[in-house]
Amino acid sequence: MPSQIFFKENLRIQAHGWPIYIALMLLVNHNIRPEVTASNQLIAFAITLLMFNACIGLFYTLFLKNWIWKSAVLIVVLFFTATELIQHFGASWIRDSTGPITLLPWSHQDEQYYWRMFNRYLGLLMMSAGLVFHIRSVINARGLKKEAELRHKKELEAKEMEFAFHMVQINPHFLYNVLNGMQQRTKGVLPEVAQSLDQLGDLMNYLLTASKDGVKRVLLFRELEAIESYILLERSRFENCHVDFKVTGEPTIHKLVPGTLLTLVENAFKYGIYTDVDHPIEIRLLIEADSFVFECSNTIDRSRKTSASSGLGHKNIIARMDAVFAGRYTFEAVEEGDTYNVKLIINQI
């Protein structure tokens, strides 16, 4: 990415700068050196352009690639090669500071000649170095801007999570007590409603217990009980609610972050189709000695798969898992055609 920015910015600046240089060069030489033809000036410009971009390449390897020794060798090779080529082929356009344009003989390669040529290169070296420094500052500025945008995005996500957390904490005990009271009053009159309220009360009791300060892990079987209560609630709401839920192994000693699996199951109901008997929500839990694997898949309900499903639940899960099981879990969420699959593996050791 920095290389692409470098070459694009370099091309843009040179495309704007060189036409102005050519126009000024022709104008100045027309007035102070009318004997020099336009073709000779263009040949001189072509050599200047070639040398300038060679210097750009050198400073690119030096400042952006950190090829210090390679750059030093290339500078020496370029200097002597260009000097000899100009001496042999293009010396007719070189003006000595004390006289007219002269063609220096091939044998006249003394120390003064190289110093004069180095003096002529200094301007190109300074211009190319300035351009490379400018482009480097542009690349750094864009990098800093991108980092600031990413940091701002993370801050917004953190605020969204904090807001969501506070929303679910609004008087939960009050709601739990209300549900308990309603369950008692409907027990003899509407037993089915009372049963649903009882399941909802159990679910809320689990969430309240799990959300207490300092509770970072709960036993897996307690999370499974909450999932079963949630599925029963959904089945009481919808007659054609099809869920294939299977657990293999004993969930008595394994632990996890509270609400993790429940959130994934809730998302499957929220954004999936569960009324198709041929394509139910499939939930699998495989419990092994030192780990367990949770998988949940559902057919996507495109009518409800909107921008509201921002992935905040998944981000919340990842943030909490990083805090408790860092380096000991893997989480995948993949959309394949009309099916959405999530997979969570948690190692206990």
pLDDT digits (tens, 9 = 90+) for 161-206: 666 655 555 555 556 666 666 666 666 667 777 777 777 777 877 8
Model confidence band, residue 83 (pLDDT cutoffs 50, 70, 90): low
Model confidence band, residue 145 (pLDDT cutoffs 50, 70, 90): confident
DSSP readout, 34-57?
Answer: TTS-HHHHHHHHHHHHHHHHHHHH
Model confidence band, residue 84 (pLDDT cutoffs 50, 70, 90): low
Mean pLDDT of 272-279: 88
Tell me the two tokens of residue 214: 């300092």
List phi, psi (to 5°) of 345.
-120, 125
* 10, pLDDT greater than 50: yes
Mean pLDDT of 50-62: 75
User: What sign has the CA pseudo-torsion 173, 313, 332, 143?
Assistant: negative
- Residues of the chain with pLDDT > 90, as a percent, come to 17
Tell me the two tokens of residue 223: 């999370």
User: What sign has the CA pseudo-torsion 130, 134, 136, 137?
Assistant: positive
d(CA 309, CA 301): 12
What residue spans in the chain does CATH classification 3.30.565.10 cover? 241-347
**What pLDDT sits at residue 248?**
94
**What pLDDT sits at residue 297?**
94
DSSP readout, 103-127?
Answer: ---TT---HHHHHHHHHHHHHHHHH
Mean pLDDT of 14-33: 81
**What pLDDT sits at residue 63?**
64
Tell me the two tokens of residue 349: 């050791």
Listed in sequence order, the DSSP H helices in 90-217 are 111-168, 172-186, 191-210
- Residues of the chain with pLDDT > 70, as a percent, come to 69
User: Per mean pLDDT, which of 124-138, 250-264, 312-326 is the most reliable?
Assistant: 250-264
d(CA 152, CA 323): 21
The dihedral region occupied by 341, where left means phi > 0, alpha psi between -120 and 50, and beta the remainder, is: beta
- CA dihedral 150→156→260→222, nearest 10 degrees, is 150
Q: Which of 18-32, 253-267, 276-290, 308-322 has the lowest mean pLDDT?
A: 308-322
**What pLDDT sits at residue 303?**
78
* 267, pLDDT greater than 60: yes
CATH fold of 241-347, please?
Answer: Heat Shock Protein 90 (3.30.565)
**What pLDDT sits at residue 99?**
42
pTM attached to this predicted model? 0.50
Mean pLDDT over each residue of the chain, to the nearest integer: 76
Mean pLDDT of 19-37: 80
Mean pLDDT of 54-64: 72
Q: What is the DSSP letter of 311?
A: S
d(CA 223, CA 260): 8
**What pLDDT sits at residue 183?**
63
Higher pLDDT, 320 or 195: 320
Residues in the chain: 349
Higher pLDDT, 60 or 214: 60
Strands 243-248 and 281-287, by their bridges, are parallel
Burial of 138 (0-12, 13-18, 19+ CB in 10 A): middle
d(CA 135, CA 105): 40
CA 200 to chain centre: 40
Query: What angle (nearest 5°) sits at the alpha carbon of residue 262, between those of residues 258 and 264?
Result: 120
